[in-house]
Every structure is written in C-alpha cells, then in structure tokens.
Structure 1
Amino acid sequence: MSRTTNSAYDANQDPSSPFYIHPNDNTSTQLVSVKFDGTRYANWKRSMLLSLTVKNKLGFVNGTILVPDENDVDFLAWECCNSLVATWLLYNLDDNIARNVLFKKTAKEIWMNLGSRFDSVSLTQVYSLEQKLAEITQGKLSVSEFYTAITTLWDNLDDADPFLQNTCACGLSLRVQQKTQEHRLMQFLMKLNDQYSAVRANILMMSPPPTVDQAYRLIAQEENHKEMTLAKPESMAFYADQRGSGNNKNQYSGNYSQKFGNSNGQDRKPKSGANYYCTNCKVPGHSIDRCFKIHGYPAGFKPKERRIAAAVTTSAGTEGSNSLSNDQYNKLINLLSKHDIASNTDTDSSQALLAGPFSKQTANSSW
C-alpha cells in the first residue's frame, strides 16, 4: 500500500505527466468567462477544450486516458485528476444543468452527456445564421468592424455544422475547404460598399484567388488611403487660413494705399524694388525731378508703337465721334516710324497732332 501511495504522489508531482496537479489548481476554478446555460454550446465547448488542453487534462474528457485497474499503481493518481476535472466541468455549468450531471462517475461521462444533449445540428440555428449572412452589409461600419461581424457568423456556422469542421487530409476534404473559402471570399467582397469597387475588381482578377484574410488586408489599406486623401484638403485649408491670418499679407495693402492713393485706373502699383514715385504722371519708378513730361524727353527717345495703338483703341472705344479714321491712323504710324523725335518741340508737336482725335483721358496717359 505504501508503494502505491508513493507512486500516486510521484505522478501527481511530475509536470510531464497528465496526472500532474499544479498547486494553483483547485475545484472552484472557472475555466471560461461565461458558464454554460443551455445556449451557444459550441462556443462554451470550444473554450473548455482549449482550457483543458492547456492544463494537460483533455484526455480525461475525450477518452484518450483510459481508466487504470484498481490494483494499478496509477489508479489513485488517475482518480484524483478525474475528480478534479469533473469539478471543473460542474463549476463551469449553470446550476440547473450541473444538477443533472452531478452523479456521473467520470469526467468523460459528464462530457458525453452534455454533448448528446446540446451538441447536435439544429437546422433552425443554421437557417438563422444563413439568413444573417444573406442580409449583412457593410453600411456605415468600418472595414474592420464589418470583417469582425461576418467572420463571427462564419465561426458560428462552423460550430453549428460539423461537416464544415472536417479536417481530414484527403483530397475531397481539401477541395471542399477550398470551395468554402472561395465562397466566403465572394460573400465578403459582395457585402462591401461601392467605394471599394476598384480594389474589389483587382482582387477578383488575382490568380490564384487570395484568402479572405488577404483580401481584408487589401481592403483595409484602401480604406486608410481614402481617409488620408479626405484629410489632406482639410489640413491644406487650415494651413491657408493660418497664412491668411498671419503676417504674409500683400506688402502693398497698407503703405501703398496711404502713400500713393487708391487705384482709379491711372495709379499703378510700384514694381519690386521701386523707391520713386512721380506725383505728376502718377507713375512709379521715377521721381518728379526726372519726369520727362516736365523737363523734356532725351534725344533719340522713341515712343513705343504699341502704346499709341492701345491709346487709339481706347479712344475709339470711349469716344466714338472723335476716333481716328484708318487713313489718319496709317499716316500717324508712318510718320512715327520714319522720323525720330529729337527734341521736346517735336514731342509737343506730335502730342498736338494727337490732341484732336484723342480724348482727355488718353492725352493724360503715359507713353
């Protein structure tokens, strides 16, 4: 008897043994976040299997760890671990369901009883999930939120239909899994908003077709790109407002209007670097001390023909009764092209020639 007790003690203390019991393992350990109350058994079952696998106790519910003979040295160790797993199952069940399996002798019997009662294919549940998949659309959801919603429905459908969970490595099973993935890829792309039509077309032309996860990454990248594009004009407008409200205003908006007066059709803004302004002809770039209209034009000064033509055109548009005829205009151009204006007298005579047909406004304009 002493040998059997020591062997059981050693098995319970060996971390590599399925009979090992950790010091923190107790009968009131809640392995899952929500106790099973008779609904969503597939989710509760999946969570329990994961927890039991982590604790190396999965064999006690799926039958891979057989019950040793009562005279075996490991019987006491097995019995201790079996009772521990049974209490875990009971503690993670609703009180009403726990009372129904309370007197089962082994953890495997408890597990099998729950499976026979709740782990069955329900056409009503499958119908409900398929209907939700048919009606779901992205709408106002982000790509991430929509992907989470549709994958949750797929997972629930896998739990409700054991055929979709077949992991056999045979060729037929692999083909079925491939067709299922292609069908779900089509579902995911069909439910997206129309703004992703371009990237959706690119995904459909890919060969071989990507997985649903790969398609999601491409759509998510497109969503991020669109968000950046929409945010850029707003930032540029904010930058423009900051510049407009700062010191980068027109350098002529203040001092020029005070110094030179408001623009009335004759005043001109000074060129960049101009330090002079003529109060006689209202032209920046020279002072009144150097004004040709007062002190005379230099020898060899030749007025530009285009200014004459512009003045004539302006006069013709504003003073229709005093405009030059074509004959007079041609004679004036020939005269200016053949003779240089050599002195102020010649300039005055030319101005006198134009004084008749020109309006007062044209005569006051600069050459």
Structure 2
Amino acid sequence: MNARGGRGAQPPPEDTSSPYFLHPSDNPGVIFVPRQLIGSNYTTWSRSFTIALLAKNKLVFVDGSIPWPNREDLLYQPWISCNSMAIAWLRNSVSSQICSSIMYLDDAYEIWSDLKERFSIGDSARLYQLRQQLVSLSQGNSDVSSYFTNLRIVWDEFKNSQPISWCTCARCTCHSAARWHQHQENDCTMQILISLNPEFSQSRSHILSITPLPSLSKVFALVIQEERQRHIEGNQSTPPVPSEQPFANATSNYGRCLSNFLCTHCGRTNHGVDRCFYLHDFPPGFGREKNKPSNATGSGGSGFSGGRSEFQNHNNTDQ
C-alpha cells in the first residue's frame, strides 16, 4: 500500500493497524479532549488532541502525512471517510466561535495548520506570562508534591513553546535535539531547587553535588524523601508527661470534703448521720474504759458513760 494515497491494493477493513480502519465506536460526535480550544490554551489543547489522534491512528490525516488522493485512487473513498471523521473531531474540540471560522474548510490538515498559525507559540505575551510565573513561583506553605506539580505545569507549557532543537542537518548526526532536551531538564531542576523552602537546604546541597545533575523525577524523589523523614521524626517525638496536679487537686478536694462532713443528728463534724455514735450507739470498749476489765454488773452502763464522755471530749478538742 502506498502510504501517501498512491495506487495500490485497498487494505482490508479488518486490518486494525491501517490508518484507514474505522472502529464501530468512531463517530463524528466523539469529543477527544476535556477542554475545548479557546485560543489561549492552544499549547495544552494541541498536545491532548495529538495524543488522542495517535491512539486512533488518525494523526496522519491531520499532519499531512497522507495528502488528498486522486479520485481514481482505490483509497479515495476510505481517505474521504477518515478525513471527514478527523474534521468532525476537530470541530467538536474547539469553541463555537472558532468552529464557525473553520466551518468551510474540507481538509483536516488545512484546519490543523490554520489553528496552529493563529494560536501557536508565537504569542510573546504568553511567553512573558509563563516566564514571570516561573520566576515568582515558590514553595511557600505548599507541600513538595503540590509545589512540584504546579511548577511542572507551568514549565511544560513554557518548554513546549521553545524550539525542539537548533539542528540544521538534513538527517541529524550531531544529537542537537537530545542535548537541547537535557539542557531544558537541567534548567527546570535548577528552578525547582531555587524555589524550595530553606528547610530543604541539605537536600539541595546534596543534589547540586551530584554529577551529572539527576533527572527531574530523581530530584523529586530525593526531596519528597526528606519531607517524609521530617514528618516521621516529628511523629516520634517524646510525648509530654501527664501532670500530677489534677491528682493532687483531687486529693485535696477529697480531704476538704471529709472535714466538712456535718452530722445532722448531733451537730458535730467529721462524721455523717449514718455513723453517729449518739444515734447508733457506741461500740464496745470505746474510750478509756476499753482497756479495763468489764464488771459483771453495770459494765454496759459504765462503758457507755465513759465512751460517751470520751467521744464528747474528743469532738470538743477538734472543734
């Protein structure tokens, strides 16, 4: 099969690897990207739409790899079907205002080129905004993961606005693209380290001492490791010893409550009505008589009298 639409055998419809194959789920109403093109978001929109077309194996109809074939070509009708499908997907992925400006273009490649020419990276004001965001961005109160994500979003858009490489070779043999990509990665790494909070100075010094400079993913792993270590050490600190003051206060209050007991029967303190000897009788041998041998006659009266007198004297002394 001629990849550019020349004469040749028509690919079978069941050949899923062919760019002319249309899956039953492919229909003009499919929306590829979550956010439509409004103009200022062209860089992120084109990236998302390109990935979606690659997944459908239809990017060749948008980037001009398969131009419009002749009517006599066996692939003319399959090409028309795939091109029309790509046009419908493009129209669904742009705002209504932009859609009206491409309504009468019948070639997906022409539409793609027109959008790129109008909204692509030639916007100097947008480049200025991205650079300003990178300079002013700092970690602040954000955790490392949130800070890294926010910086990477801005940096990726800024990086995609730069040339892919400065190579002028017909077939690159100087590896200019690889070196340019590495330079951009190192630049982003430096920006991340500069914007980190001072508490990560140890990780920053360690990363800068590594030759060559580690990748962005490795830098992120090293910094997030230190952040987690700090969190663990904070949780393992010695808990404060509970104060004994509440117990002392409780003991003091308990003694104060005992001294404030007032018998409602005899009017004396230090005992309640349920333990009043005057009401419930004195125990045997109470007071001075408790060590004397009991008499056969009147021992109970003597004991009660002595006990009662001793109890009265004791309470009077307390008062």
Shorter-chain TM range is: 0.5 to 0.7
In the alignment, which residue of structure 2 is the partner of 1:222? 226
Q: What's the C-alpha RMSD, in Å, of the aligned pairs?
A: 2.5
Structure-2 change in CA distance of 1:152 and 1:225 (3 Å):
same
Aligned to 1:90: 91
- 2:36 corresponds to which residue? 35
Segment of structure 1 superposing worse, 61-70 or 135-144 = 61-70
SS in 1 for 2:135: helix
Aligned residue number for residue 78 of structure 2:
77
Q: Give yes or no for contact 2:29–2:88 (8 Å, CA) kept in 1.
A: yes
Residue 64 of structure 2 is matched in structure 1 by 63
Per-residue deviation, residues 142-171 of structure 1 (Å, max 9, x unmatched): 0111111111111110233335798x6633
Q: Distance in 2 between matches of 1:229 and 1:20?
A: 58
Contact kept in structure 2, 1:31 and 1:48, CA below 8 Å:
yes
**Number of equivalences:** 235
User: Do the aligned partners of 1:11 and 1:19 also contact (CA within 8 Å) in 2?
Assistant: no
2:22 is matched with which residue?
21
**8 Å contact from structure 2 (residues 43, 121) kept in 1:** no
Shift of 1:61: 0.4
Please tell me whether the aligned partners of residues 31 and 51 of structure 1 are also in contact (alpha carbons under 8 angstroms): yes
Higher helix share: 1
1:219–1:40 CA distance, 2 compared to 1 (3 A): same
**Corresponding residue for 1:237?**
239
Matches within 5 A, 1:1-367: 11-163=12-164, 170-233=174-237, 236-237=238-239, 241=242
Q: Is the 8 A contact 2:165 2:176 kept in 1?
A: no
Residue type at the aligned position of 1:109: E
Say which SS state the counterpart of residue 239 (structure 2) adopts: helix
Between the aligned partners of 1:143 and 1:106, the Cα distance in structure 2 is: 46
Post-superposition offset of 1:179: 2.7
What's the offset of the Cα at 1:228? Answer: 0.6
Contact (CA 8 Å) 2:189, 2:216: kept in 1 or not? yes
Tell me the distance in 2 between the aligned counterparts of 1:29 and 1:111.
Answer: 17
Change (3 A) 1:191 1:120: closer
Question: What residue identity is the alignment partner of 1:203?
Answer: I
Which 10-residue stretch deviates more, 191-200 or 48-57?
A: 191-200
> What residue identity is the alignment partner of 2:176?
L
Letter in 2 for 1:129: L
Give the whole-Å Cα distance in 1 for the aligned partners of 2:190 and 2:165. Answer: 17
TM-score with structure 2 length normalisation? 0.68
**Whole-angstrom distance in 2 between the partners of 1:163 and 1:73:** 37
1:41/1:164 Cα in 2 relative to 1: closer, same or farther (>3 Å)?
A: farther
Q: Do the aligned partners of 1:185 and 1:212 also contact (CA within 8 Å) in 2?
A: yes
* Residues 180-189 or 77-86, more deviating: 180-189
Q: CA deviation at 1:95?
A: 1.1
Secondary structure at the residue paired with 1:237?
A: coil
Residue identity matched to 2:45: W
Please list every run of 5 or more consecutive structure 1 residues that lacks an aligned counterpart in the other structure: 1-6, 255-367
Shift of 1:97: 0.8
Q: What percentage of residue pairs aligned between the two structures are identical?
A: 30
Contact 1:12/1:77 (CA < 8 Å) preserved in 2?
no
Structure 2 segments unaligned to the other structure (5+ residues): 1-8, 252-319
Query: How far off its partner does 1:76 sit?
Result: 0.9
Q: If the length of structure 1 is used for normalisation, what is the TM-score?
A: 0.59
Rounded to whole Å, the distance in 2 between the matches of 1:34 and 1:57 is 20
Highest CA radius of gyration, 1 or 2?
1
Letter matched to residue 150 of structure 2: A
Q: Structure 1 residues 12, 109: CA separation in 2 closer, same or farther (over 3 Å shift)? A: farther
The 2-side partners of 1:169 and 1:230 are apart by: 53
**Pair 27,111 (structure 1): closer, same or farther in 2 beyond 3 Å:** same
Shift of 1:205: 1.1
**Aligned counterparts of 2:59 and 2:26: Cα–Cα separation in 1:** 15
8 Å contact from structure 2 (residues 62, 112) kept in 1 = yes
Q: Which runs of 4+ in 1 moved over 6 A?
A: none
What CA distance in whole angstroms lies between the structure 1 residues aligned with 2:80 and 2:231? 61
CA 1:81–1:16: 2 relative to 1, 3 Å: same
Q: Is the 8 A contact 2:63 2:109 kept in 1?
A: yes
